A and B are shown apart, each in its own frame.
Chain A
């Protein structure tokens, strides 16, 4: 675990993949995306900026249920759980990626705005 925050410089926009990595998968009609920060600074930034609402917005149209975010401080990570989110799940789904295997990659491509802008009104 690095503790320098050079890769999470708050004053610039970053893609999640620059400061984290992750994996996604399915359980019936639910998918989950685990995201793990590269550093403690990155973990704090993701905690602020990679909210359940942000992930729900990314998959707007794919998720009929809810998106919940859980913290895993031991990994400096998060688990996002989306329910009613796979068009019926593995066997029924008409999606090519019926098991959400590639969805973590979509979250990793998200761009986080500079923290100064993001937090200006807090």
Chain B
């Protein structure tokens, strides 16, 4: 027996027709998982929920995946597991039920919640003394500006939701690999002490959670040889002993190789000997990756240890505003002109007495990607000045926004680009303050139709 799990979304913004393409590919799979919640996405969801209390979930899941594919998914007995619920799993589940009714599909839904700690944060701090997980900012400095706080739940509540027999499981914040490990716990009955198996499911989930990034996308190895049209989304088949094979549908673009899988294994990790989730401390130095045949890779030997006794919690808080404006300068001396323009903007900030906490001038085409790691050169045909600033005062950043366009008449020559966009607008910064909360203080919950 094996359990086949496909991924059709690596973030909110991924191809909306990925599910259609997977279903039409002829590939067989038992579970479809869709991952929508990057750290930066939580701030977006909060703003959406502010405007409409029925929102706060990843609407792409409803508008594309559910609207266009629910009937076929249910018909083919493919069960769906997604964190599209975001800050509002109940509302997301209600939309699924509405679509099921409209389409005449008999689909059942369960939600996994308990991750939302926003209303309990003060009490948790009083009881446990919340400490920063990254950096040194104390809780007191962010407390009054908190907008949301969510614990990264593990895979067991996802498995419990599947145990109720529903077709669709919608979670709030869970660790990304839980979207694959949950189905495996459900299917194989792996228990909490079976650390090597839980590590295998965590590796499987980590490898497919970013979708096409494991099937050729973003691979820095021989990228010129990769066909980026219709890159196939990944399917991982995991056996009860934790061995797995990762592949993609036939006749799709992309590549599955030792190289593409290895790059995804090291993506966004810390100490590889202990990739921590609420379920396991997975040892990423254990898995052996071997190429089986074209576009199929086997992963074996996964191992893990007991998990930590706390949940990671992302506390999102308002931290002022930021703004960025652009001006394009051409040769000769494009970089020198752009640098001069940036210095004019800085002096105008001083002259007008604008409250701006930090500024940053980057020169697109020269150093915007790599900063100090970019090579020195001065022969650019053109350079885009990107001038960014942040500060506590929205009105002062609006005033700063008026400082770009006048440079097209009053600044260094050979400048253009004003027709591309108007005055930039300040955007609120929804910052993140990661912390840890004891597991005993969090109660995951499953609410479902069954």
- A residues at B contact (CB < 8 Å): 1, 17, 21-23, 25-30, 32, 34, 36, 58-62, 70-75, 77, 79, 81, 83-84, 87-92, 94-97, 99, 102-106, 108-109
Contacts and interface: CB of A to CB of B under 8 A. Distances in A.
Closest 10 CB pairs of A and B: A34-B266, A21-B221, A94-B360, A94-B388, A25-B268, A106-B373, A61-B372, A90-B40, A102-B369, A23-B263
16 contacts: A21-B259, A21-B263, A25-B268, A32-B268, A36-B263, A70-B271, A71-B285, A73-B285, A79-B266, A79-B271, A90-B38, A90-B432, A92-B429, A94-B388, A95-B371, A102-B369
B386 interface: yes
Interface string B160-179: 00000000000000000000
A28 B372 contact: no
Contacts of A89: 39, 431-432
A106 B370 contact: yes
Contact of B266 (A29, A32, A91, A102): A32
B368 A96 contact: yes
Nearest to A36: B262
B266 to A, nearest CB: 3
A59 B220 contact: no
B88 interface: no
A83 B429 CA distance: 21
A62 B135 contact: no
B220 A72 contact: no
Interface of B: 38-40, 43, 134-135, 218-221, 258-259, 262-273, 284-289, 301, 319, 322, 324, 358-360, 362, 364, 368-375, 386, 388-390, 429-432, 434
A91 B268 contact: no
Nearest to A68: B271
B272 A70 contact: yes
A84 B264 CA distance: 23
Nearest to B133: A28
A21 B390 contact: no
Contact of A91 (B43, B265, B362, B371): B43
B263 A94 contact: no
Given A96-B364, A99-B40, 8 more contacts: A1-B258, A27-B134, A34-B262, A34-B269, A36-B263, A62-B373, A74-B287, A105-B370
B373 A74 contact: no
Contact of A22 (B220, B371, B374): B220
A89 B135 CA distance: 11
A77 B389 contact: no
Contact of B272 (A23, A79, A103): A79
Contacts of B429: 91-92
B371 A94 contact: no
Contacts of A32: 266, 268-270
A92 to B, nearest CB: 5
Contacts of A36: 259, 262-263, 266
A103 B369 CA distance: 7
A58 B430 CA distance: 30
Nearest to A110: B373
A75 B265 contact: yes
Nearest to A21: B221
B282 to A, nearest CB: 13
A61 B371 contact: yes
Contacts of B262: 34, 36, 75, 77
Given A90-B432, A91-B432, A106 B39 contact: no
A62 B371 contact: yes
A34 B266 CA distance: 5
A108 B270 contact: no
A74 B303 CA distance: 12
Contacts of A73: 285
B327 to A, nearest CB: 14
Contact of A88 (B266, B431, B434): B431
Given A34-B266, A94-B359, A72 B371 contact: no
Nearest to B387: A94
Contact of A59 (B285, B359, B373): B373
A25 B267 contact: yes
Contacts of A90: 38-40, 432
A27 B265 CA distance: 15
Given A28-B134, A28-B434, A94 B40 contact: no
